[in-house]
């Protein structure tokens, strides 16, 4: 199975600042990568798919990039509602696998 | 907009069989618009894909659960079901039902239920 590794585990950011989250696959997954946001007590929410396409209703301050094995989620001008855990997920191969998550905290 | 709602017992004893249902509204489970997945999250841990049922009814499972998991559907009730046999404490998790676009097998999970906590304890 594809191993997905996220870094850092925790990112401390002030509101209004930007954040950059990384996700690495152990083998190429083309652009078959999604990013999810999860807040406490809630289900994950799809943010980005196809490595860089925002899902419906996702603000433009969220952007994704990357191809192959290296991917990035960027959040510009962090809002209070953006503090959460972010997961990357590959859907290139069975079984579909997630990274361990990056917590973005104030 | 599709909506998913999980239901099932919250507490099981080791060796019992877990049975969960996911009731789908806002679309038919066999329409072709979506495929259906079960994903679980162990307490304070990350996410694990459990398995998948195509809108045609074919299935695919995580090899880590091989032999213990069955995903099925009831089109008359518009429900997806998860059965996991011989549970242990390691199966304690929040179980989510999630959809993925139906036009291809490999797609992200675009709609999620709110999840249901299953605890396995003697």
Residues 6+ apart with CB under 8 A from B52: B35, B36, B37, B38, B59, B60, B61, B71, B100
pLDDT tens track of chain B, all 122 residues? Answer: 899 999 999 999 999 999 999 999 999 999 989 999 999 999 888 899 999 999 999 999 999 997 899 999 999 999 999 999 999 999 999 999 999 998 888 899 999 999 999 999 99
Q: How far apart are CA B14 and CA A88, in angstroms?
A: 32
Q: How far apart are CA B40 and CA A68, in angstroms?
A: 26
Cβ contacts of A100 on chain B, cutoff 8 Å: 46
CA distance B38 to chain A (A): 11
Which residue, among A92, A95, A98, would best test binding to B if mutated, counting the most B CBs under 10 Å from its CB? A95
Lookup: tokens for A74: 């960027």
B21 to chain A, any CB pair closer than 8 A? The answer is no
Cβ contacts of A54 on chain B, cutoff 8 Å: none
Name the residue in chain A with its Cα closest to that of B5. A43
């Amino acid at each position: 199975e594809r191993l997905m590794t996220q870094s850092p585990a925790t990112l401390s950011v002030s509101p209004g600042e930007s954040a950059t989250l990384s996700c690495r696959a152990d083998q190429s997954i083309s652009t078959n990568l999604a990013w999810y946001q999860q807040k406490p007590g809630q289900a994950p929410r799809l943010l980005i798919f196809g490595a860089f396409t925002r899902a419906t209703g996702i603000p433009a301050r969220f952007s994704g990039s990357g191809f192959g094995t290296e991917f990035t989620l960027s959040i510009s001008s962090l809002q209070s509602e953006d503090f959460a855990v972010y997961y990357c997920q590959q859907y290139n191969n069975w079984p579909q696998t997630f990274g361990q998550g990056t917590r973005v905290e104030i | 907009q599709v909506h998913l709602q999980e239901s099932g017992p919250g507490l099981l004893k080791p060796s019992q069989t877990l049975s969960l249902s996911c009731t789908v509204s806002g679309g038919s489970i066999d329409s072709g618009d979506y495929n259906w997945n079960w994903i679980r999250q162990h307490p304070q841990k990350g996410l694990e894909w459990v398995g998948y049922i195509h809108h045609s009814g074919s299935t695919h499972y995580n090899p880590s659960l091989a032999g213990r998991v069955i995903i099925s559907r009831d089109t008359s009730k518009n429900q997806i079901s998860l059965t996991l046999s011989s549970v242990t404490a390691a199966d304690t998790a929040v179980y989510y039902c999630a959809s993925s676009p139906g036009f291809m097998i490999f797609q992200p999970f675009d709609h999620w239920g709110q999840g249901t906590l299953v605890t396995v304890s003697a």
